[in-house]
Structure 1
Amino acid sequence: MITVPGSWFYLSRNLDLVTKEEALSTTMSSASSRPVLHYLELGTLGRGEVVRLFLNDAGIDFEDIRYAYDHTWAATSAELQAKGLTVTGKVPVLEFNGTILTQHIPILRYLARELNDYDGQTSLEKWVVDAVSDIYIDWRTQYVANLENASDSFKNKYTPEYYNILSHYYSQRGGPFLLGDRATYADFVIYQSLDDDRKTSTLPETLPGAIVAFKEAFESRPRVKAYLESRRNMNINK
C-alpha cells in the first residue's frame, strides 16, 4: 500500500505522485481528456471501488485520484466543492466527457446508458436491475452503520438474509449474472458487497449456491480478473 499524506494523493492508474494543489488545478479539464475518478484512500473498500471495477471491465482508461481520509479531508472536501466538483462535498465523483457525475449508483447507470450496455434490454429487465441495486443500497446503509463494530444482528441475521434475497433474484434467469449470461451494473455493486463483507469479516460462512456461482463468474471476467490481480500486486487488496 502506498501511504498518502494528508496534503497530497496519487494517481494509482499511473502510480504518479502529484500534489493536491496540482491535481485540483487540472481536474476541470476538457471534454476530450480521459475520465477522472475522485475517491477516498480506503484501499479497495467502498463506493468508489464499484466505479473502478466498472470502468476496468468496460475497458475505459481513467485517472484514479485518491484523497487521504483523515483530519485533512474536511479541507479537501471544501476545495472540491469550491472547484465545482461536488455539491455535497462527498465522493466518488467521476469527470466523464466534460460532465461531472456524482453518487456511485447513478454514475453506473449513466455509464451503462452511454455505453448502451450493462443494463436490461426490456422494461422488466431494467426494473430487476434497479430493484437489486436498491436492495444493495439498503445493505450499504447497514454496512456503514456497522463498520466500526459490527453487531451480532448484522452479522448473523441481516447479512445472511441479504444474500438469501439476492439469491432469489440471481436464480430466476439461470445465472451466473443477474440477467443470465449478461453482466449489468447491478452485478458490480453486488460483488462489492461480497468483497466488503469479506474484508470486514461480516460475510456469512455459507452463501447460497447462486451467489457463489455469481462470484466465481464475475471474478473470471477477463478485465475484472486482470484488475483484481493488479490490486494484489499493488498490495491494496485489503
Structure 2
Amino acid sequence: MPTTKRCLTESDANRAIGGVPTIHYFDFQSRGRGQVLRLLWEDAGIAYEDIRYSFQEYPEYKKTRIAGMNPTGHIPVVELNRRILTQSYAILRHFARQLGKYDGETEEGKYWADAMCDIGIDWRTLFVNAFFSPQKDKTYPEHCETVRPRFLQGLETHLKTHDLSKTGPYVLGKSVTYADFVIYQVLHDEGLTQDRRKGMKDYPRLIQLVDAVESRPNVKTFLQSDRYLG
C-alpha cells in the first residue's frame, strides 16, 4: 500500500496557493521530479500531504488511481482544491507565480530562470534514460563520462558569465528561484552534492549554488529531518 505522511504546518504560504497540496510520487528516497516540488514547498513553508508508491506497486495504481487523475499515467500528480495538477515543471512555475516569488521579478529574470530550468530538464531526461536503462551497466558509465561533464560545464559557464547570475550564488544572483531547486536536484540525484562535493571540484560556481540552497533555513531544517530520505 502507498504510504501517506502529512508534512509541516499550514501557513500563509498555504493560503497563498489555496490550501494543502497532496503529491503522488514514487517512494524514491528524496530524489526525482517529485522531490523538486517538495523542496519548493519546504523552502516556502507550505504544508503538504506526501503519498509515495513503491516501484513494485505503482504499475497497478498507474492503471487505476493515477490514470483517473492523469491520462498519461505519469507522476508526480498534485491534488489541490479538487484540481489536478500535472507536469512537474509547470507545477513549479504555477506555485512560483502564486507565491509571488521564485521566478524572477523582471521579464529578463523570468526568461533566465526558465532557460536554466530547461537545461536541467534536458540533463535529467538523459540521466533517467541512462540510469534506468536495461543496459545500465553500460549506459550509465557512458553518461557519466560524456553527458554529465557537458551539462556541468554548460551550467558552470552560464552561472559565471550571465549578468544576473554573476551577482550572487543563485541563478538570479541574490534571489532564489525554482530553477535553483531544479539544478540542485539533478546534481543531488547524480550523486554530486554528497561526499563533500568531490564530483564537483572543477565547478566552483555550481558548488556555490548547492551550498546556498542547502544553507537556506527551511531547506537546512528539511535536510536534517526525517522527511529527507537521502
TM-score grouping bracket, smaller chain normalisation: 0.7 to 0.9
Aligned residues: 209
Normalising by structure 2, we get a TM-score of 0.83
Cα 1:144–1:188 shift into 2, 3 Å: same
Match of 2:2 among 9, 15, 22: 9
Other-structure match for 2:91: 107
The percentage of aligned residue pairs carrying the same residue is 38
Cα 1:127–1:228 shift into 2, 3 Å: same
Q: Any unmatched runs of 5+ in structure 1?
A: 1-7, 15-30
Other-structure match for 2:11: none
Match of 1:159 among 148, 155, 160: 148
Preserved CA contact (<8 Å) 2:2 2:54: yes
Cα 1:98–1:120 shift into 2, 3 Å: same
Cα 1:234–1:95 shift into 2, 3 Å: closer
Preserved CA contact (<8 Å) 2:200 2:206: no
Q: Offset of 1:186 from its aligned partner?
A: 0.4
Q: Offset of 1:103 from its aligned partner?
A: 1.1
Distance in 2 of aligned mates of 1:75 and 1:120: 40
Other-structure match for 1:76: 61
> How do 1:1-238 and structure 2 match up within 5 A?
8-13=1-6, 34-70=20-56, 72-81=57-66, 84-147=68-131, 148-149=136-137, 150-171=139-160, 172=162, 173-198=166-191, 204-230=199-225, 233=226, 236-237=229-230
Q: Offset of 1:128 from its aligned partner?
A: 0.8
Could you list the structure 1 runs, at least 4 aligned residues long, displaced by more than 6 angstroms after superposition: none
Distance in 2 of aligned mates of 1:116 and 1:176: 21
Q: Any unmatched runs of 5+ in structure 2?
A: 8-16
Preserved CA contact (<8 Å) 2:187 2:193: no
Q: Aligned-residue CA RMSD in angstroms?
A: 2.3
Other-structure match for 1:24: none
Cα 1:43–1:98 shift into 2, 3 Å: same
Normalising by structure 1, we get a TM-score of 0.80
Q: Offset of 1:219 from its aligned partner?
A: 0.1
